[in-house]
Homo-oligomer: A and B are copies of this chain.
Amino acid sequence: MVKRTSFEGDSCPIARSLEAIGDWWSLLIIREALFGVRRFGEFQGKLGMAKNILATRLRALVDLGILKVAPASDGSAYSEYVLTPKGHGVFPVLVALRQWSEEFDDHPEEIATILVDRDKGRPVKKLELHAEDGRVLTAVDTTLKARPRRSRSAG
């Protein structure tokens, strides 16, 4: 099999996520969708991508339950693509990517935008990972454990 290796059956949740949204365009499509982009032509124009690629990606994202097709919205008989809750759930991933770029990019001056609190217009804080007791955790403060198997009798 020379197919692009699939992580579909992989037990690592990161690999599973990448299987769904780990390609060049999907995350950018979701980013646009989070900003309210809904129409095929709008995605195509903003992202500057080929229409066939866009069509393929949109279909895949719909199949994955990240986007859903809305029959209409502004009168025209064309359909639109709107985020599902699963799609909205990608937001932290995008924020993490953005903040990584802001912190480590070699040419941060080329970054045109900052993410701000809509109410106050002030920059957001860095994403933080907390322990149950509230401590902030870095990578070395964490480790992996086998997922506790939910017994078949438990509710």
Contacts and interface: CB of A to CB of B under 8 A. Distances in A.
Contacts of A91: 138-139
Interface string A97-110: 11111111110011
A86 B103 CA distance: 8
Nearest to A13: B101
Contacts of A126: 92
Interface residues of A, number: 83
Contacts of A13: 97-98, 101-102, 105, 111, 113
B142 A115 contact: yes
Contact of A112 (B11, B24, B121): B11
A115 B22 CA distance: 20
Interface of A: 4-5, 9, 11-18, 21-24, 27-28, 31, 34-35, 48-49, 65, 85-86, 88-106, 109-133, 135, 137-148, 150
